[in-house]
């Protein structure tokens, strides 16, 4: 699969929201946003960009962690990733290069097929807060590929699904400026916003299949 028809993309993200709402997740999910092509009303949608705000797990379970270390060779289950989820979905357990359970990779494995043109952004901060933080970081380092497109719509918040947002997605009713204009509105100068918008587009065009990026703010 290389792209979605717009109606198909809306159906796909509805299924993802339903999965989060009804199934055990590796970490608690607080927000689900869509941004990029779909929220802009494009058809077809080359890539479906989804933002998940996750909560951190604070109560570790040393005994369960040891069990999964022995059985799967992965550290951190029961601490950074739910042991209950790992019991139900051992096939989706994923680790970072250090062998520690990676929440964003576990979420991607559970929610997205490998060949689907879907990108997940996973962070402990809300979408709007992370847009600001990533913009500041990108400007300080002139690393514009890290900019997060601010043109997004919240689909699910604290267990509540936004029927209105889904209706607007289906009808193509969201209205947003260009990416460069949107970046200018939140603090970038005009020329820098143009360069950043070009960098974000170039970065997206190089991606294929399912991708995920984890972030901690």
The Cα–Cα gap between 166 and 16 comes to 13
Establish if 91 belongs to a structural domain: no
Overall number of domains in the chain: 1
Establish if 88 belongs to a structural domain: no
* pLDDT at residue number 182: 94
* pLDDT at residue number 132: 94
Q: Is the pLDDT of residue 61 over 90?
A: no
Chain length of the chain? 217
Q: Which of 36, 32, 41, 26 is nearest to 13 (CA)?
A: 32
Q: Which of 97, 108, 53, 107 is nearest to 75 (CA)?
A: 97
Question: What average pLDDT does this structure show over 164-187?
Answer: 93
Establish if 115 belongs to a structural domain: yes
Which of 54-63, 154-163, 185-194 is modeled with the greatest confidence?
154-163
Distances (CA, A) of 164 to 10, 82, 193, 195: 13, 32, 31, 34
The Cα–Cα gap between 197 and 144 comes to 8
Establish if 16 belongs to a structural domain: yes
Domain span at residue 174 reads 6-56+100-215
The Cα–Cα gap between 163 and 158 comes to 14
Question: What average pLDDT does this structure show over 29-53?
Answer: 95
Establish if 1 belongs to a structural domain: no
Establish if 82 belongs to a structural domain: no
SS3 13: helix
* pLDDT at residue number 56: 80
CB 186 within 8 A of CB 150: yes
Question: What average pLDDT does this structure show over 98-110?
Answer: 95
Percent of the chain residues topping a pLDDT of 70: 99
Establish if 77 belongs to a structural domain: no
Establish if 83 belongs to a structural domain: no
Q: Is the pLDDT of residue 59 over 80?
A: no
Q: Is the pLDDT of residue 146 over 90?
A: no
pTM of the full structure: 0.93
Phi and psi (nearest 5°) for 49? -100, 125
């Amino acid at each position: 699969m290389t792209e979605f028809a717009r109606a198909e993309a809306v159906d796909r993200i509805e299924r993802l929201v339903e999965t989060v709402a009804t199934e055990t997740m590796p970490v608690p999910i607080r927000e689900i946003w869509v941004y990029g092509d779909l929220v802009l009303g494009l058809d077809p949608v080359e890539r479906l960009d989804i933002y998940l705000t996750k909560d951190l797990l604070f109560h570790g379970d040393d005994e369960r962690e040891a069990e999964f270390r022995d059985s799967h060779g992965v550290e951190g289950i029961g601490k950074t990733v739910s042991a209950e989820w790992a019991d139900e979905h051992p096939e989706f357990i994923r680790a970072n290069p250090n062998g520690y359970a990676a929440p964003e990779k576990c979420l991607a494995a559970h929610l997205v097929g490998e060949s689907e043109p879907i990108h997940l952004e996973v962070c402990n901060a809300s979408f709007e807060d992370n847009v600001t933080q990533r913009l500041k970081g990108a400007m300080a380092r002139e690393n514009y590929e890290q900019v997060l497109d601010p043109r997004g719509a919240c689909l699910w918040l604290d267990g509540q699904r936004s029927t209105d947002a889904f209706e607007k997605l289906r009808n193509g009713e969201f209205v947003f400026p260009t990416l460069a204009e949107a970046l200018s509105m939140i603090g970038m100068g005009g020329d820098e916003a143009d360069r950043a918008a070009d960098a974000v587009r170039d970065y997206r065009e190089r991606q294929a299949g399912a991708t995920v990026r984890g972030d901690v703010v």
